[in-house]
Structure 1
Amino acid sequence: MAVPETYTMMDITGKYTLNKALSDSDASNTILEQQGVGFLKRKAIDFAGATVYIKHQKDAEGVEHLEIEPQIPGNSAPKGESRVLTWTERTIDHPLFGHIAAKTRRVKPAELDDENLKKGWTADTVEAGVIQSHVVGEKWTAIQTWGIQEIDGKRRHARQMTFTGPKGNTIHARLVYDYVAA
């Protein structure tokens, strides 16, 4: 489902489910495998799909915060994570990926070096800036940009990813999400 007309990158609050048909599903499964996610959990995610709740807000100083709560198949009590868009590294014990170091910011696509992370954004996303996430796991790195892309004539929440695996291999993927609710 497309994002509402009022949806902008300045408030991405909502509930989203991964749209496997529009996403690079094969790459996504390979990435999960290289992140150490077991076969049964990968199959459960593939079958049931991934859902994420995001609450986007600014604090009194105007700093953006994302509260992210994943709904992971087979995990009845997922642990949420907080992201502060200050490009400050924070360690997180993620329920799916284990111990990770993450930093997040808002950035103009033109400021990025990776062409994969720059491509496909709507004009309003380019103007506001994408949200960039840089996550380092035990043996891998995932860099994502989040924003709005027009896909099949509809505005969608999407993420461009450049993933570097344990053996130094690079995978480029696009993840597309259906907007479910605010």
Structure 2
Amino acid sequence: MAAPANKTIGDLNGVWYLNKTLSDSVEPALSLQGVGFLLRKAIGAAGITLHVKHYLDPAAVPHVDITQIVTGGITGTTEQRTADGEFRPHADWLFGSVRGRCQYVTPEELGAFLVSAAEQGWVDAADREFLARDWLPPTDAERAGAYGQGKPLFLSHVENLDEGGGWTATQVWGFQDVGGERRYVRNVITAKKGKFVALKMVYDWVSELEEEKK
């Protein structure tokens, strides 16, 4: 289902479901990240639902907390993102020990980041174009601010710290026209030792969170 008009990258509050028909397979990226064959196949077959909560902390810094629900008996992961551009450590059963940072950006700020990312070996020339393309212009709601600070894109960069790991994952979140409908999308580049995997993740809108309905 298309995203409601009031949903912006600064207000993703609600429940979203990964549309695997419209999305690319996650298996090549998981392989590069060292996830085993059987687990990759199980994740590839599972349904994935995101419960997203946006809020500001007392210092007015935006937070995005995401609980991932996975079918097929697979334990989901939790994303707790503080959108201030600072690196923070995180660890879970699937991706191991990582450090990540995220922030809201304009297209111009994204372009500047991608120049630096290419120098670091996190993306190549084709990836830079992929991460920056297809995003819809900001809506009036995005220009007005909300948690996204008036910026229409969300940039996330994660680095794996495990011995033998060494992969990075760079994501840009926003809204795109997919099949004639406005949808929440993540363009993702996973990189390791000069190898790159690009994938697009497209989400269906499901509903508001239960606590928001009360």
TM-score by length of 2: 0.76
What does residue range 1-16 of structure 1 map to in structure 2 within 5 Å? 1-16=1-16
What does residue range 145-156 of structure 1 map to in structure 2 within 5 Å? 145-156=172-183
* Distance in 1, Cα, partners of 2:207 & 2:157: 26
CA contact under 8 A between 1:16 and 1:51: conserved in structure 2?
A: yes
Give the CA deviation at 1:86: 0.5
Please, which runs of 5 or more residues in structure 1 have no aligned partner? Answer: none
Partner letter of residue 98 of structure 2?
I
Partner letter of residue 69 of structure 2?
Q
2:52 is the alignment partner of 1:51: no
Name the SS for the 1:86 alignment partner: coil
* Match 1:119 to one of 112, 115, 133: 133
Name the SS for the 2:138 alignment partner: helix
Query: Counting helix residues as a fraction of each chain, which structure ranks higher?
Result: 2
What does residue range 11-90 of structure 1 map to in structure 2 within 5 Å? 11-25=11-25, 28-73=26-71, 74-76=73-75, 78-90=76-88
Name the SS for the 1:123 alignment partner: coil
CA contact under 8 A between 1:109 and 1:117: conserved in structure 2?
A: no
Identity of aligned residues (%): 38
Give the CA deviation at 1:79: 4.7
Give the CA deviation at 1:31: 0.3
Give the CA deviation at 1:110: 2.1
What is residue 153 of structure 2 aligned with on the other side? 130
Please, which runs of 5 or more residues in structure 2 have no aligned partner? Answer: 115-127, 144-150, 209-214
Partner letter of residue 33 of structure 2?
Q
CA contact under 8 A between 2:99 and 2:158: conserved in structure 1?
A: yes
| Aligned pairs, number | 178
Aligned-pair RMSD on alpha carbons?
1.8
TM-score by length of 1: 0.89
Distance 1:29 1:79, change over 3 A: closer
Name the SS for the 2:68 alignment partner: strand
Deviates more, 1:43-52 or 1:153-162: 43-52
What does residue range 165-176 of structure 1 map to in structure 2 within 5 Å? 165=192, 167-176=193-202
2:189 is the alignment partner of 1:162: yes
Partner letter of residue 89 of structure 1?
F
* Distance in 1, Cα, partners of 2:186 & 2:135: 10
Rg bigger for which structure? 2
Distance 1:51 1:38, change over 3 A: farther
